[in-house]
Structure 1
Amino acid sequence: MARRKRRAFTPESKADAVRLAKAGDRSIGQVAKALDLTETALRDWIKRANIDAGHGPSGALTTPEREELQRLRRDVKRLEMDRDILKKAAVFFAKESE
C-alpha cells in the first residue's frame, strides 16, 4: 500500500476538529474518520490544545513556548558558528603575525 502524501492543516481546521471531538456526541475515531484523519493525529491535536489551554501536565510547553525554544536554539547554533569562525580567524592572524 502506498503511503499517503503528508497533508498540512491550518490551525483553524485543527481547532475545528478538536472542537468536534470534544463535543462528546461522537467518539474520536468517528470524528477522525469523518474528517479523513488518523486517530493518532486527532489525539495529538487534542493533547496539544489541552496543553495550550493550561490543562496539560506540569512543565509541558505551550505552542508559543515551543516556537520560542526552537527560535532560541537556532540562534544559539548560529552564534556558536560565529564564535567558531572567530576562533579560527584569531588563530590564523596570530600565526601570520609571527
Structure 2
Amino acid sequence: MTCDSPLRLKRGTPLRSSALGFVPTYFHKEDRTIPQKYSPEFKAKALQLIEERIRAEQCSGWAACAAVGEALGGISPHTLRNWWKQSRVDRGETPGVSTDEFEEMRRLRRENLELRRANEILRKASAFFAAEHDRPTTR
C-alpha cells in the first residue's frame, strides 16, 4: 500500500476525526488500556459480594455482576461474570475445566514442547554423527 492510496476498511468500522482526517478508532493508542491485575483477595471479596447479591435479591448472575462492578469502582461486568463462572467450576457446581486442571495442562504442554525440541536436537545430532562416521577418512 502506498502512502497516497486510500485506507480500506471493513464496512461498519467506527471512525474518529484526527489531524490525519478520519481514521479507524483502533489506531488511537489512548483508547487502549492495559488490563489490570487484581489481587486474589480483591477477587474473593468481589465473588463474595456477587454471591450475597444473588442470594439476597434473587437476581440473575449478570445483574449481580453489573451491580457489584459498579459498586467496586466500574469493573466490567464481563470480567466479574468470568470470575464468577470460573469460581463455580472450581467449586464443582458447574461442569468445566477447573483452574488447577488448566494450570496442570499448561505445565504439561510446556514440558511436552520442551521434550519435542530436545528430541529434534538429538535426532539431528545422531544423523550428523552417523553421516560423519560413514564418510571415508583421508589419512
Could you say whether these structures have the same fold, taking a TM-score greater than 0.5 normalized by the shorter chain as the test? yes
Q: Displacement of 1:3 after TM fit? A: 2.3
Q: Distance in 2 between matches of 1:75 and 1:5?
A: 30
Q: 1:77 to 1:90 in 2, by over 3 A?
A: same
Task: Please tell me whether residue 64 in structure 1 is matched to residue 64 in structure 2.
Answer: no
CA shift digits 1:30-88 (9 cap, x unpaired):
1111222101000000000000101112xx12111111110000000000000000000
Q: Displacement of 1:5 after TM fit? A: 2.1
Larger helix fraction of residues: 1
Point out which structure has higher relative CO (alpha carbons under 8 A, 6+ apart).
1
Q: Distance in 1 between matches of 2:66 and 2:109?
A: 36
Task: Please tell me whether residue 5 in structure 1 is matched to residue 34 in structure 2.
Answer: yes
The aligned residue for residue 51 of structure 2 is 22
TM-score where L is the length of structure 2: 0.65
Q: Displacement of 1:4 after TM fit? A: 2.3
The aligned residue for residue 32 of structure 1 is 69
TM-score where L is the length of structure 1: 0.90
Task: Please tell me whether residue 42 in structure 1 is matched to residue 75 in structure 2.
Answer: no
Aligned-residue CA RMSD (Å): 1.4
Larger strand fraction of residues: 2
